[in-house]
């Protein structure tokens, strides 16, 4: 079974995965999220004007929406995986169906988030 998502749905699921799994992914696999500090500041300023209760992940998604990229640096292998908003739209729906359904039905956990993030950034499940 393949799940087809609208762009907005993909962004919402990716945002939830960032919130629940980015720290786990970076800390557990010795990875670092890399992005332009200038782009981050510009996105932060735009997001905070709209809603002061926004978070780090809101800013990251706004960066993608405004044409910037996020890079995941795998320190152990010196690899860098780069994504843009199109990667989010295309790859979230490629996540294993059971994990995608768990996220959609709000039965997710750090593993669910990790699987979505690996699918988006790495194109496959590499760890776990």
Backbone angles phi, psi at 116, to 5 degrees: -65, -45
Q: For residue 84, what pLDDT is reported? A: 98
Distance between CA atoms of 69 and 61, rounded to whole angstroms? 10
Tell the residue number behind the tokens 């998604």, with chain if given: 61
Tell the residue number behind the tokens 């919130």, with chain if given: 19
pLDDT tens digits for range 75-98: 888 889 999 999 999 999 999 999
Q: For residue 63, what pLDDT is reported? A: 98
Q: For residue 127, what pLDDT is reported? A: 86
Q: For residue 1, what pLDDT is reported? A: 77
Parts of the chain with a pLDDT under 70 = none
- In order of 4, 72, 80, 84, the CA distances from 75 in angstroms are 33, 9, 9, 21
Tell the residue number behind the tokens 């997001």, with chain if given: 47
The torsion defined by the Cα of 55, 123, 78 and 69, in degrees rounded to 10, comes to -40
């Amino acid at each position: 079974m393949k799940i087809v998502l609208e762009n907005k749905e993909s962004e919402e699921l990716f945002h939830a995965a960032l919130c629940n799994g980015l720290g786990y992914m970076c800390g557990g696999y010795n990875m670092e999220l890399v992005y332009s500090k200038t782009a981050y500041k510009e996105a932060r300023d735009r997001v905070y004007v709209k809603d002061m209760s926004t978070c780090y992940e809101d800013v990251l998604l706004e960066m993608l929406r405004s044409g910037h990229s996020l890079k995941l640096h795998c320190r152990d292998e010196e690899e860098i995986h780069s994504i843009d908003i199109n990667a989010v739209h295309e790859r979230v729906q490629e996540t294993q169906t059971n994990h995608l359904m768990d996220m959609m039905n709000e039965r997710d956990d750090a593993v669910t988030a990790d699987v979505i993030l690996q699918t988006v950034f790495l194109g496959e499940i590499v760890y776990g």
